Structure 1
Amino acid sequence: MTGKDAALTAYANALATEAPKGRSLTQDALRRLFNNKAALVSIFVLTAIVLFALVGPYFLPWAYDKIDWAGIRKPPDWAKGHYFGTDQNGRDMLARTLQGTQMSLLVAGVATFVSVVIGILYGAIAGYFGGKIDAVMMRFVDIMYALPYILFVIILVVIFGRSPVLLFVGIGCLEWLTMARIVRGQTLSIKQREFIEAAKAGGAGPFTIIFRHIVPNLTGPVVIYATLTIPEIIITESFLSYLGLGVQEPQTSLGTLISFGAPVAEALPWMLFTPAAILVTMLLCLSYLGDGLRDALDPKDR
């Protein structure tokens, strides 16, 4: 019996050793994301752009607002340290592009955060309470959708002045509408689940259920849409800057640089090519990353 017991124990240990380890939902999503080559390349390119925009200016011989009086409107000159040429005022285009990339990313990050917070709160409350509250809140969203979005931003800028902070908040406060609809739809589905009923039976209040049980389960859709919202906000900021209503001198953004480079594109093509190439690359990478996150977090594909 002792020999049989030892044999059974050894066999059980062997089975336990050879048994495959399970994966969590997060590990499975990461595996699917890393298997998406386009999304993986986009992550590396975006990381490189962000790091270069943040660290690069410290290693350049010219500051973004420093004027080279002997190098006005000059093409790329590596000997003088103007790797991407200079603008009409003799300022280094590479330094200006990096500073503009910082500003565009800052606008996109802050505005996306504001829109996500407002959209989650608004959509979760409307979806959870339902009935007349939901109807009134969503009709307000429909009315806002019907009105010209860019007009509100322009009115805010004209009334309160061209401040970067106002630009952040203004775009974010008008970009939450789609997020609210997405969150409302997800909330209508989640509130029918068993754990929500258990929380109600345990005496949890409506807002406790919303913030403790519903909002944490919205991570997937929120992350996906937030990634897809960043390019839209960057384009909006670039459009406003192109109209002269965005970031003002001496600060700059990619949209401002493009607005300055477009009229002189034939004579000074480097003024348009440099910021436009960075902007297009960022938008493409963010779009591919958003598609990759959608595929990785989609429960239907698991």
Structure 2
Amino acid sequence: MAGLTSRDAILTEYNQQLLNAPKGRSLAQDAVRRLVANKAAVFSIFLLVTILLVVFIAPYFLPWGYSQVDWANIRKPPNFEAGHFMGTDQNGRDMLARTMQGTQMSLVVAGVATLVSVVIGVSYGAIAGYFGGRIDAVMMRFVDIMYALPYILFVIILVVIFGRNPILLFVGIGCLEWLTMARIVRGQTLSLKEREFVEAARASGASPWSIIFRHIVPNLTGPVVIYATLTIPEIIITESFLSYLGLGVQEPQTSLGTLISQGSEVAVALPWMLLGPAVILVAMLIAFTYLGDGLRDALDPKDR
């Protein structure tokens, strides 16, 4: 009895020690902790979320729509009594409503084009890296050729050929923005395909396509998320540049590039037309850049 009592006491003490032992953190929890510790990244997330909520919700509560004309207030500075909190443009349209609609369009273009580039780049790079050999050589030489050609010229040609349809603009930019993503994914795949879990999948009889999309691609989440975050501001700049040239979003819709283009022509007489869109564009670009840096520091396994 004494022996049993002693053994029970030892087991009870051992179980108590297990309960009191500090719990470990998963890789995701560790990444979140690193990201939260980055004040610049946290502030960028807060700023971007605020901009998203404002530009997609606030227009429903504004007294003026982005295409409505106030004939009594044409080319007027901010006027709170008339409901024009950021003034009006040359046609009497409310600048706050147009700035919000332009920000919506720029964000949608960036989001859709980034999604298209991620899907193409990840698939292309993972296939090239996994199969290797001649397939890899041919596929990556095509990427090198595309890199040598002027990117913005291709986008302009697409816009001229297919018209100024916003959907085609989204897809066109995304279909030409995947090259760097493909290179990054291909390099990561070359190292992942030699790992033990891939060898185990091969030994179990899994097909190459199953290994690529069920085992390799899910392990590329970190680099893909990081580069996608850094791709968004690049696409916003591209769309703004096209709109600045008059090849982007057309009236009555607008984008930040279109608003900046129109505001720059009358910046001396009507500075409010340029100031608002320019400030929002710069704020978003800086926020996405800091967020991308924060995600890189949080998800990079070499920094753990």
TM-score band, normalised by shorter chain: over 0.9
Q: Distance in 2 between matches of 1:170 and 1:197?
A: 38
Residue 142 of structure 1 and its aligned partner are, at CA, apart by 0.4
Cross-structure match for 2:24 = 22
What are the equivalent positions in structure 2 for 1:72-111 lying under 5 Å apart?
A: 72-111=74-113
What is the rounded CA distance, in whole Å, between the counterparts of 2:136 and 2:10 in structure 1? 62
CA–CA distance in 1 between the matches of 2:142 and 2:94?
47
**1:118 pairs with 2:120:** yes
Kindly state the Cα deviation for residue 17 of structure 1 after the two structures are TM-superposed: 2.5
Task: Give the CA deviation at 1:155.
Answer: 0.5
Give the aligned residue type for 2:125.
G
Q: Does 1:185 align with 2:187?
A: yes
Give me the whole-angstrom Cα distance separating, in 2, the residues matched to 1:133 and 1:26: 34
Q: Which residue of 1 aligns with 2:272?
A: 270
Partner residue, 1:151: 153
Aligned counterparts of 1:9 and 1:129: Cα–Cα separation in 2: 53
- Which residue number corresponds to residue 61 of structure 2? 59
Query: What amino acid is the match of 2:199?
Result: E
Residues 131-177 of structure 1 show CA distances to partners (whole Å, capped at 9, x for unaligned) of 11111110110010000000000011111111101100100000000
Q: Which deviations, in whole Å up to 9, do the C-alpha atoms of 1:79-127 show, x marking residues without a partner?
A: 1111011100000000000000110010000000000000011101100
2:66 counterpart SS class: coil
CA deviations 1:223-247 (Å, max 9, x no partner) are 0000000000000000000000000
Structure 1 stretches lacking a partner, 5+ long: none
1:229-267 Cα deviation digits (max 9, x unpaired): 000000000000000000000000000000000011111
TM-score by length of 1: 0.98
- 2:299 corresponding residue in structure 1: 297
Q: Which residue, 236, 239, 251 being the options, matches 1:237?
A: 239
Whole-Å separation in 2 of the counterparts to 1:148 and 1:51: 36
Tell me the distance in 2 between the aligned counterparts of 1:102 and 1:21: 43
Take 1:3 and 1:143, find their aligned partners in 2: how far apart are those partners? 78
Letter of the 2:231 counterpart: T
Structure 1 residue 261 and structure 2 residue 263: aligned? yes
Whole-Å Cα distance in 2 between the matches of residues 13 and 137 of structure 1?
Answer: 57
Give the deviation of 1:3 after TM superposition. Answer: 4.9
* Alpha-carbon offset, residue 5 of structure 1: 3.8
Question: Percent identity of the aligned residues?
Answer: 77
* 5+ residue gaps, structure 2: none
The counterpart of 1:135, out of the listed 120, 134, 137, is: 137
Q: TM-score, normalised by structure 2?
A: 0.98
Q: Distance in 1 between matches of 2:5 and 2:199?
A: 53
- Displacement, 1:6? 4.9
Q: Which amino acid aligns with 2:93?
A: R
User: How far has the Cα of 1:11 moved from its partner?
Assistant: 2.3
Q: Deviations over 1:8-59 (max 9, x none)?
A: 2442233123200111111111111111100000001000000000001011
3-state DSSP class of the match of 1:262? helix
